[in-house]
């Protein structure tokens, strides 16, 4: 069969956008948001606290704390875990910048580690040798919904007395052996922004069972919860530790982290339906991958559901691309052949590795005339290209595939048929 990239007939004239439409918004969401706007309570915390309580109950966490975005929630989590000037965190290089960049703002540096090519999450074998006297935390990213290998990671952190911060921005609702990700480390922080699978605007949330970490996160960016009277909120004091409580009224992070209540109001509505809606996504994505099960070159990035693990809302689905099974065809050429058939969402996947970005190597945030990564006496753990081979090959070993939100098997099968056609005829695809 002649592929479209070689002048054959395209498989799709137009794509059914409804398959990808997300989040699902009903009148109930709209009413909840409008109520906040009409009552002028955007800056309040009453609804946000209800949302936190419900989110925590769903996911099985003692405490939850809403934030204005995921980036600020991760920053507060780092500070809560004691990350400060001269310290180090360990973080996989292949992730979004906001898993790690805030460490520099705290005067710390990032010792980047590699991922495994099948899970795309932190490689447990690349952690321990990076731990130094100033290592305060390991940031574990449940990448593209895939839970990290916690059975291997948790004992390493325990042994060295280091905190685990989960960046769960891709994985709201993912299970690791029956337990929700975001609740397995000492503290979970995550984005709930509009593009994520739990999508309620610009928002973030922290989860922890540790009262002290919770209070430190409050102190970092939630002055309105430290016992000061406020026009928008009843007097509210979340700080019970005497050494924290006297910081009444000014957040130690010098920032405001509170969530806009249009977001938390929508969050309360979304949460009611989210568990059922992500089950549909899981069935849809699993069906897509099952359709391609016998083929070489492109393999599913997913978990063993028999172990009680899931991919949550399956944010940013990835195919594990193995060019050696397709006569060396590059991920880029493969994707272009799929695009030519009429599927737009297919391209070399993942996130670009962070350890070689100038931000982590050269940027001088504090105008000190030297890179922030070493300006506070941190160990110089900066790494050159070639040091983290799996992360550096990410665009070659992954291909982003369509994210089906709705279980319409005939439509999903027609997509899978296009991938099948390209794989079965891969030898026709010119390498340039």
Ligand X SMILES: *Cc1c(COP(=O)(O)O)cnc(C)c1O
Q: How far is the CB of 390 from ligand X (least distance, A)?
A: 17
Q: Taking CA 103 as the corner, what is the angle to CA 57 and CA 349, rounded to the nearest 5 degrees?
A: 75
Instruction: Give 156-199 as a 3 state SS string.
Output: HHHHHCCEEEEECCCCCCCEECCEECCCCCCEEEEECCCCCCCC
Region of 108-116, 164-172, 214-222, 253-261 interacting with ligand X (CB under 6 A): 164-172
> Taking CB under 6 A as the rule, does residue 154 contact ligand X?
no
Phi-psi domain of 377 (left: phi exceeds 0; alpha: psi -120 through 50; beta: other): left
**Is 196 annotated as catalytic?**
yes
Stretch in the footprint of ligand X (CB under 6 A) among 79-87, 94-102, 148-156, 377-385 = 94-102
Among 71, 93, 270, 286, binds ligand X (CB under 6 A): 71
Work out which of 167, 224, 238, 392 binds ligand X, going by CB under 6 A: 167
Cα dihedral 377/381/384/387 (nearest 10) = 180
Distance CA 104, CA 89 (A): 10
- Identify the DSSP state of 323: G
Binding flag, residue 99, ligand X (CB under 6 A): yes
Q: Which three-class secondary structure state does DSSP give residue 44?
A: coil
Say which of 49, 136, 163, 196 is annotated catalytic: 196
Per-residue DSSP letters for 354-405? STTSHHHHH--TT-SSS-HHHHTS-------TTSSHHHHTHHHHEEE-----
In the set 80, 157, 193, 340, which binds ligand X (CB under 6 A)? 193
Contacting residue, 23, 185, 204, 353, with ligand X by CB under 6 A: 204
Residue found by looking up tokens 């430190």 in the block: 216
Distance in angstroms (rounded) separating the CA atoms of residues 159 and 179: 22
The verdict on 29 binding ligand X (CB under 6 A) reads no
Structure tokens, 301:
């990035």
Beta carbon of residue 71, minimum distance to ligand X (angstroms, whole number): 3
Determine, following the binding rule CB under 6 A, whether residue 141 of this chain makes contact with ligand X: yes
Q: Which is nearer to ligand X, 95 or 286 (CB)?
A: 95
Q: How far is the CB of 332 from ligand X (least distance, A)?
A: 23
Among 101-109, 167-175, 299-307, 400-408, the segment contacting ligand X (CB under 6 A): 167-175
State the distance between the two ends of the chain, measured CA to CA, in whole angstroms. 20
111 binds ligand X (CB under 6 A): no
What's the min distance (Å) between Cβ of 191 and ligand X? Answer: 3
170 vs 406, beta carbon nearer ligand X: 170
State which residue has the least CB distance to ligand X.
70
Q: Which active-site residues does the annotation give?
A: 196
Question: Can you give the binding site for ligand X, defined by CB under 6 A?
Answer: 69-71, 95-96, 98-99, 141, 167, 169-170, 191, 193, 204
């Amino acid at each position: 069969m002649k592929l479209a990239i070689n002048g054959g007939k395209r498989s799709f004239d137009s794509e059914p956008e409804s398959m990808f439409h997300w989040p699902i918004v009903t009148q109930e969401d709209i009413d909840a948001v409008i109520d906040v706007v009409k009552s002028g309570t955007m800056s309040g915390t009453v609804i946000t606290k209800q949302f936190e309580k419900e989110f925590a109950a769903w996911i099985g966490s003692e405490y939850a704390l809403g934030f204005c975005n995921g980036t600020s929630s991760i920053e507060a989590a780092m500070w809560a875990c004691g990350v400060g000037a001269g310290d180090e965190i360990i973080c996989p290089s292949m992730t979004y910048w906001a898993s790690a960049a805030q460490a520099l703002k705290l005067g710390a540096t990032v010792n980047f580690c590699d991922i495994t090519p099948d899970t795309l999450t932190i490689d447990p074998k690349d952690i321990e040798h990076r731990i130094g006297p100033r290592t305060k935390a390991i940031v574990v990213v449940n990448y593209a919904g895939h839970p990290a290998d916690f059975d291997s990671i948790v004992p390493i952190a325990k042994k060295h007395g280091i905190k685990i911060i989960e960046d769960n921005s891709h994985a709201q609702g993912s299970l690791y052996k029956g337990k929700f990700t975001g609740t397995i480390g000492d503290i979970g922080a995550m984005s709930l922004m509009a593009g994520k699978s739990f999508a309620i605007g610009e928002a973030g949330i922290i989860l922890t069972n540790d009262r002290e970490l919770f209070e430190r996160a409050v102190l970092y960016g939630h002055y309105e919860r430290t016992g000061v009277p406020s026009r928008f909120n009843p007097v509210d004091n979340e700080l019970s530790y005497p050494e924290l409580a006297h910081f009444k009224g000014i957040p130690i992070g010098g920032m405001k982290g509170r969530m806009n209540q249009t977001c938390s109001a929508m969050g309360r509505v979304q949460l009611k339906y989210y568990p059922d809606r992500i089950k549909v996504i899981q069935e849809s994505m699993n069906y897509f991958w099952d359709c391609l099960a016998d083929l070489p070159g492109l393999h599913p990035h997913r978990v063993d559901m028999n172990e009680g693990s899931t991919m949550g809302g399956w944010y940013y689905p990835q195919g594990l691309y193995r060019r050696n099974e397709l006569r060396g065809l590059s991920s880029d050429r493969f994707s272009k052949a799929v695009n030519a058939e009429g599927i737009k969402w297919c391209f070399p996947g993942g996130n670009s590795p962070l350890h070689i970005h100038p931000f982590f190597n050269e940027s001088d945030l504090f105008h000190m005339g030297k890179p922030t990564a070493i300006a506070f006496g941190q160990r110089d753990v900066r790494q050159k290209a070639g040091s983290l081979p799996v992360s550096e090959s990410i665009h070659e070993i992954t291909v982003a595939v369509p994210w089906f939100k709705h279980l319409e098997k005939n439509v999903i099968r027609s997509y899978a048929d296009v991938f099948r056609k390209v794989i079965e005829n891969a030898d026709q695809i010119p390498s340039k």
